[in-house]
Amino acid sequence: MHRAQKTSRFNQWLDRFILLMLVSLVLIFILYPFIQVIIRSFYSDQVFDFTYYRHLFENPTLITNSLKLACITTILSLISSLAVALYYYLSPESIRRVVSIILGVTMISPPFVTALSYITLFGRRGWITYGIFKLRLMPYGMWGVALMQMLGFLSMNSLILISSLNQFDEDIIKSARSLHASTTRTIIDIILPNIKPAVMVATFLTFIRTLADFGTPTIIGGNFTTLATEGYLSVIAQGNFQKAATINVLILIPAIVIFLIYNRQLMGSVSSSQKVDQSNGNLPRKGWLFQILRFVAIFMLVWISLQYLTILLSAFTKMQQGQRILTLINFKEAMPYIDSTIWRSVRFSLIAAFFGSIFGLLIGYYGVIREVKIMKWIDFIATLPYVIPGTFFGLGYILAFNHQPLYLIGTATIIVTNVLFKQLPFSSQMGKSTMQAIDRNTLRSIQDLGGEFSDVIRDGILPLSIRGLILSFMNAFISTMTTLGSIIFLMYPRHKVLTIVMFDVIARGRYDIGSVIAFYIMIICILVYLSINRLAKWVK
């Protein structure tokens, strides 16, 4: 009896400790940096200062450039992703499989890889512009940035829309066909209105991500600058943290407004975009609208495939005496840049993925199963990094952890912690979804047999959550391997990862080295994706 009481007290203590630790970590590593950026934007040397806000609104070029670019990219991205999603939905199984592979591979690519391939193909010495047509064009500026952002967002937006289409009630389509409705009218009058929530999610995510993207404008923007690029340069080139904080707060405002209004739909897209069912639209593939959709979709899929094939060719070829030859010299030249960086990137990604998956599962457990009241607020805070610009999150870590008692600047800990909590929204939503699918009676039966907190977790929660943990781990690993914005301000030379090195060499004009690094990142992510996906199927 005495031993049973000690075991019971230990489990109660363990339960409270884990809950307290979870709440504290979310508040310290998400909310605290968030608040620090907002405070810093209004203060200079501990004096209230509205100077940078006034300057930005008095000279609105950066704001108008950012909004103009975001609108153009959003429109182009929405049109292209709708065409791809509808083409997928209306196509036979063989075509769907090809589209899924293309979208899947391009989803796990490094950041700004489209900008790299754009320069390789259409730059002043581009393979197409100069190599074929002998033209010396300047493909930089706003439209080049918009086109590359459109390609960069194509895969995610298409998968969000495809997921919504696959949940569509096909009986409605069958009813329309029984009334002799054409494919064109069915798409316009039935399908599009019913996927409006997913369209809105894709629209808002594109708008937010365009505002926050500094990599693409920095590489191919030329003289065209945006709030995101200016915020990046304010830290890297000027060391002006108040100006950077002000810019990031301005970028944050539309993101937070959208997040508060469409919180449920946005977070639903986090998990739904990671899975693609295989339902069939059962619509005849004919009509003028289908022909347009097919043309646009095939064009976009070929274009994005060409962009990524260019990266591979650029990694394995080199110009010699006016001709491009196959060689491995680029890999040899890349070794000094990435010798120890590869394993460091993988190690950071594994740590962030493991702990992020566990934290997400615990947030789901305490929020859904235990229904702890404070977890509603913790869950809300945990989802904030999904819409916070990456540079905002990284800047927050600089401001929050550059003094005691948590001095983390210059350590590997701050990098791993940053990427862990940056990817936490997906893990927490996956944890919630997993907990909602668990039968409460199973857990009650463990307790009825005398099981304590540790028994419920070990014998009930973990075995029933394996698939969710695997998917969460896979997403966190790939996201960490390909992240840039949230960690670029936190890097010291001894802690650099592949994406940072890739950004540096591209900015210096070493596109061949950048292609090699992009190739390594893609191979690592694909291998992990295939391994984890096979494990998930085996568990299922």
Query: HEC profile for 486-536?
Result: CCCCCCCHHHCCHHHHHHHHHHCCCHHHHHHHHHHHHHHHHHHHHHHHHHH
Asked if residue 111 and residue 247 are part of one domain, the reply reads yes
DSSP alpha helix (H) spans, 59-130: 61-90, 93-107, 113-122
The answer to whether residue 401 sits within a structural domain is yes
What are the CA-CA distances from residue 421 to residues 232, 234, 263, 530 (Å)?
Answer: 21, 24, 18, 24
Domain count, the chain: 2
Asked if residue 100 and residue 83 are part of one domain, the reply reads yes
The answer to whether residue 276 sits within a structural domain is no
Asked if residue 313 and residue 256 are part of one domain, the reply reads yes
Select from 283, 304, 325 the last residue of a domain: 325
Q: How do residues 195-208 score in pLDDT, each as one tens digit?
A: 888 888 888 888 88
Q: What pLDDT, on the 0 to 100 scale, is given for residue 123?
A: 67
Report which secondary-structure segment, H or E, holds 326: strand 323-326
Asked if residue 331 and residue 459 are part of one domain, the reply reads yes
Asked if residue 165 and residue 36 are part of one domain, the reply reads no
pLDDT value at 270 more than 60: no
Q: How do residues 277-300 score in pLDDT, each as one tens digit?
A: 444 446 777 788 889 999 999 999
The answer to whether residue 209 sits within a structural domain is yes
Q: How do residues 491-532 score in pLDDT, each as one tens digit?
A: 888 888 998 898 888 878 787 888 899 889 888 988 888 887
Asked if residue 388 and residue 405 are part of one domain, the reply reads yes
Beta carbons within 8 Å of 325's beta carbon, 6+ residues apart: 317, 318, 319
Asked if residue 18 and residue 107 are part of one domain, the reply reads no
Q: What pTM was computed for the model? A: 0.82
pLDDT value at 330 more than 50: yes
pLDDT value at 71 more than 90: yes
Q: Please give the residue range of the domain that contains residue 205.
A: 49-264+293-325
Report which secondary-structure segment, H or E, holds 381: helix 374-383
User: Which is nearest to 474 in space by CA: 424, 431, 531, 517?
Assistant: 531
Q: What pLDDT, on the 0 to 100 scale, is given for residue 457?
A: 84
Asked if residue 474 and residue 426 are part of one domain, the reply reads yes
Q: What pLDDT, on the 0 to 100 scale, is given for residue 10?
A: 84
Residue for token pair 């069958």: 174
Asked if residue 395 and residue 342 are part of one domain, the reply reads yes
Asked if residue 366 and residue 333 are part of one domain, the reply reads yes
Asked if residue 229 and residue 147 are part of one domain, the reply reads yes
pLDDT band, very low/low/confident/very high, at 172 (cuts 50, 70, 90): confident
- 99 touches 84 (CB < 8 A): yes
Q: How many whole angstroms from its chain centre is CA 528? A: 17
Q: What pLDDT, on the 0 to 100 scale, is given for residue 540?
A: 57
Asked if residue 465 and residue 379 are part of one domain, the reply reads yes
The answer to whether residue 285 sits within a structural domain is no
- 204 touches 140 (CB < 8 A): no
CATH of the domain at 166: 1.10.3720.10
Select from 282, 309, 325 the last residue of a domain: 325
The answer to whether residue 153 sits within a structural domain is yes
The answer to whether residue 517 sits within a structural domain is yes
Q: How do residues 381-427 score in pLDDT, each as one tens digit?
A: 888 887 778 888 999 999 999 988 889 998 999 999 999 999 888 88
The answer to whether residue 167 sits within a structural domain is yes
The answer to whether residue 362 sits within a structural domain is yes
Cross-strand partners of 325 = 318
| Cα separation, 16 vs 377, whole angstroms | 17
User: At residue 29, what are phi and psi to the nearest 5 degrees?
Assistant: -100, 0
Q: What pLDDT, on the 0 to 100 scale, is given for residue 278?
A: 46
